[in-house]
Amino acid sequence: MIRWISLLGILLLSISASATEMVGAVSAGMGGTGRAAVEEQEAVYLNPAAISLVNKMHFSTAYQSGFLARDVSRNTYGLTIVDGSKDVLIKGAFAFRNHRINLHGMEFNENEFRLGLGQRLTKRFSLGLTLSHLKAESPDGVAYRQNNVDLGFLLGLRPNWGLSLTGENLVEQDQNIPSALIRPSRVALGTQYIYAGSITGRYELLSPLNFYNDHKPYLGHRFGLGIKFQADFVLNLGYSVDDFAEQNWSSIGLGWMGPRLKFAYSLQSESRQSLGTRHLVDLWVNL
């Protein structure tokens, strides 16, 4: 009986978690945007093509806490290493995250591994590939594993203006895995524009590559604004609309972007379903 309850919990959990995500403090503070940006600690999650533009080695840690959906909360601890050294053949990143999920009082554990590679093909055009492995386990040990692939493209129209195209979860999963647990494939088109080196604007449009059970496609819109002040302090603002999850998130973030040490914090609040808040903290070092 407990086994079936746990299985039901996993199915419900995957339906909710697939439509929402917490990537990192910088992107969260700007409405979940960042696929056309170069955020060292988030590129392996947002757009692996951006890894090709990293110039040093970076090490980061992350903590996230908040709601994915009603009665579904998650605490996440993460580590990311990015090697953008000039002497490497292909620039890459490795990331690990542990998710502790509470679903209606039931505790679940997820381990997520990611390996990202990025290569600059021309002065302005880059592509990237991310391989991911996810293992979800119920309280009584029922486990499901997924291996997937993300592709990313990044085009620099100007030094201060970029466009991105990403495809996420592009591999069809084993039919033995419950369909609700399989994270949906989607495509995202993004842009970032930096004005005067201190004001950053972002917009992203997201859509699934297939239809869901109700045969209705959905679109997600994300908006981000970043303002850089003197002494390397930044203020981030954002808003996102997700019609499939029926969630609207507003966000604010603060950060300090020093030459070697960087810190970012973001607070997100959901208004359509009144889900509550999310907190995200990132700390990373340029080695």
Per-residue model confidence as pLDDT tens digits over 25-42: 999 999 999 999 999 899
Torsion of CA 18, 22, 23, 28, to 10 degrees: 130
Strands 220-228 and 199-208, sheet pairing: antiparallel
| Distance from C-alpha of 164 to C-alpha of 128, rounded to nearest angstrom | 11
Determine the structural domain holding residue 158 and report its residue range.
2-286
Identify whether the C-beta of residue 22 lies closer than 8 Å to the C-beta of residue 76. Answer: yes
Per-residue model confidence as pLDDT tens digits over 84-96: 998 899 999 999 9
Identify whether the C-beta of residue 67 lies closer than 8 Å to the C-beta of residue 75. Answer: no
Name the domain count of the chain.
Answer: 1
Q: How many angstroms separate the Cα of 55 from the Cα of each of 85, 135, 137?
A: 6, 32, 37
One-letter amino acid at 219 equals: L
For residue 43, which of 130, 111, 147, 126 has the smallest C-alpha distance?
Answer: 130
Q: What are phi and psi of 7, to 5 degrees?
A: -60, -45
Per-residue model confidence as pLDDT tens digits over 67-122: 887 778 889 999 999 999 988 999 999 999 999 988 777 788 889 999 999 999 99
Residue 139 has pLDDT above 90, yes or no: no
Evaluate if pTM is beyond 0.85. yes
The residue written with tokens 């950060």 in the block is: 255
| Distance from C-alpha of 158 to C-alpha of 138, rounded to nearest angstrom | 48
Per-residue model confidence as pLDDT tens digits over 222-243: 999 999 998 899 999 999 998 8
Q: What are phi and psi of 281, to 5 degrees?
A: -135, 130
Residue 16 has pLDDT above 70, yes or no: no
The residue written with tokens 């509470």 in the block is: 102
CATH code, domain with 192: 2.40.160.40
3-class SS at 249?
strand
